[in-house]
Amino acid sequence: MDVSAIKKRRFVRRSAKCWWDEFSGPVFDRSEILSLLQAAGATYLILQTASFTRMIEEIDSWVIAAQAFGFVTLGWAVICLVRAPLIVRKRDRSLGSWRGGGYSYKNAECVFVRQYFANSRTNTDDIRFSEVEPNSLVRYSIELEPPVYERVSAGLALVPSTLECPKKIRVGGRGRIKVDRNQKAWLCVRLADHTVPVICRVYCHSFELEDSTLSDVDPIHVRPQK
């Protein structure tokens, strides 16, 4: 596996997304669109009673405005193209650091949050680690609020799975898993009967680009759902 090539593709992909976010923000700003609609509405009302000369003046003003918008938009696209790689590089350095083929976050990134209830079954949700690379090995942790860990089983799996009641076998909420090409894994949560509702948060601590097999993953030893 060429780790350097993967990191370069990641940088280019993130820079392209950053460019679009930076470019489209002001262009499609809701306040600007509202101002444009207001101007168009005012022009329409003026044209209803305007003389031929006034109509020509209004049309000319719109043509000039359209040309100016085109030049400004083109210039803004170029500026964003220059800014995007710098923003991505700065963001990567502020969030964490690379070491070989692995990236570690300075502060764990929260990627999922949901409240669960005791319902005598396993709750499953698909989670997307949008910032990690496809097929990478992710180190994660699961936080519960309130922290009733002895009455809740929680873990990530490769497929939707069924957990035993926590009173029989309690599954921990920390480990590693190799996400799929869509950067997804399945969260499995089960509460013991009569347990208070809990808010579950999933955090990403790091990911590895190096190729790994399923034997490298910390499985949660559960039965796949039928």
pLDDT in tens, 71-122: 888 998 999 999 999 999 998 888 899 988 899 999 999 999 999 999 989 9
Residue of 147, 225, 161 whose CA lies nearest to 189 = 161
pLDDT in tens, 48-62: 666 767 667 767 777
What is the value of pTM for the model shown?
0.74
- Res. 40: pLDDT tops 60: yes
In the prediction, which pLDDT does 221 show? Answer: 47
Cβ neighbours of residue 197 closer than 8 Å, sequence gap 6 or more:
115, 116, 117, 118
Percent of the chain with pLDDT over 90: 42
CB 122 within 8 A of CB 163: yes
- Res. 147: pLDDT tops 50: yes
Place of tokens 């190096």: 210
Q: Whole-angstrom Cα distance, residue 23 to residue 41?
A: 26
In the prediction, which pLDDT does 30 show? Answer: 66
Mean pLDDT of all residues in 133-160: 91
Cβ neighbours of residue 89 closer than 8 Å, sequence gap 6 or more:
11
